[in-house]
Structure 1
Amino acid sequence: MSKGIRYTDEFKQEAVNQVVVHGYTVLDVSQRLGISNKSLYDWIKRFSESPPVL
């Protein structure tokens, strides 16, 4: 049984975009959204490895 909050793919993608596209730091985005740095780094890695969804 997993614990914690599950975020939608749209939420994750928007968080990643704030870092990759808009140039905010991982620390800024993670603090603003209330998520861990590790989660955001994991999402960045995941979304950069997968092909974009059209």
Structure 2
Amino acid sequence: MSGKRYTDEFQIEAVKQVTERGHSVAEVARRLGITTHSLYAWKLKLGRPDVVRQAELDQSAEVRRLKAELKRMTEERDILKRAAAYFAKG
């Protein structure tokens, strides 16, 4: 059985009551007749502006790129260490 569907505008306004006006999630949920679970889910989905969400995505992509580069550089360093040790023997 599926639950009741709410419009995007309704969800946005409910989240704004929590994020911008400082009301508690429980209070807003009770007043609007929705579950706190739904309101928390909407808050996660809609609570942050698009600019912030995009910045977080950009940061996570940069972290992934830097981790890959670090792995590659570490492998190169290890190869050079082994090569230096090999040529130092001979």
The two structures have a TM-score, normalised by structure 1, of 0.85
User: Structure 1 or 2: larger helix share?
Assistant: 2
Long gaps (5+) in structure 2: 52-90
Identity %: 45
- Paired with 2:24 and 2:11, the residues of 1 have a C-alpha distance of 15
Give the C-alpha shift of residue 48 in structure 1.
Answer: 2.9
From the CA coordinates, give the structure whose radius of gyration is larger. 2
1:20 and 1:33, CA in 2 relative to 1: closer, same or farther beyond 3 A?
Answer: same
Secondary structure of residue in 2 paired with 1:44: helix
Q: 1:20-35, aligned counterparts within 5 Å?
A: 20-35=19-34
Q: Which runs of 4+ in 1 moved over 6 A?
A: none
The two structures have a TM-score, normalised by structure 2, of 0.52
RMSD: 1.7
Long gaps (5+) in structure 1: none
Q: Which has the higher contact order (CA 8 A, sep 6+)?
A: 1
